[in-house]
Amino acid sequence: MENNQEWSSLAADWQRQDTPAIDIEAIRDEAGRRSRGLRRVIRLEIGFALLVIALCVAIAASPRNDLFDTLLFSAMAVFLVAYQALMVWIRRRDLAEAGNDALSLVDREIQRANTVLRYWRWGLWAGLLLWLCLYGLLMYGLASDWPRQRVQAPIAGTAVNVLTFPLIAAYGWWRCSQARARLVRFGALRDQLRAP
């Protein structure tokens, strides 16, 4: 019986402890760091996309190309413009500033974590679609006995994607696992903030 009293006493002591307060300044600092990092990443991403689009347009407009190369690189440029527009549109709400209260900051970080998941889902499917189109074009060209020079671009595109796509997918998986951990962490903080 004395053993139960000791456990009851320990439980009572445990329940009387103060719960740690939520560090709003730390959340505000983290949200600010993520905002600055996101803006930097978006600028780099748009700059790189514009460079690749300009390269595709330059190749498509080259007088040395035939109609096939012009159409192929024009289609890639259009695809990249649409892809980059979609990626910026997915992130559009993440660039706006949140309120200064703790709940607004936590909700913004939950929204950003969900955006990371959506961004990588759309991005990886779009990359896979592009790779499959290049692969299909390559297979069609090989089956149609296209000249070797004509199938060089699809061969190069397929080879580059075979090498880079698994690395990009692994990085996306890592980023999504980080986002899921942030969802759990900030979901618990939101529940704590909403508790009476």
Hey, what are 8's tokens? Answer: 């009851």
Residue position matching structure tokens 């300009």: 54
Chain segment 35-92, per-residue pLDDT in tens = 889 899 999 999 999 999 999 999 889 888 888 888 888 998 999 999 899 888 888 8
Mean pLDDT score across all residues of the chain: 85
| Spatial distance between the Cα atoms of 119 and 177, rounded to a whole number of angstroms | 13
Residue 18: pLDDT band by 50, 70, 90 thresholds? low
Residue 177: pLDDT band by 50, 70, 90 thresholds? very high
Residue 121: pLDDT band by 50, 70, 90 thresholds? very high
pTM: 0.75
Q: Reduced to 3 states, what is the DSSP secondary structure of residue 97?
A: coil
Q: What is the mean pLDDT of residues 163-168?
A: 90
With 0-12 / 13-18 / 19 or more C-beta atoms within 10 angstroms meaning exposed / middle / buried, residue 55 is middle
Amino acid identity, position 7:
W
Is 189 a residue whose pLDDT tops 80?
yes
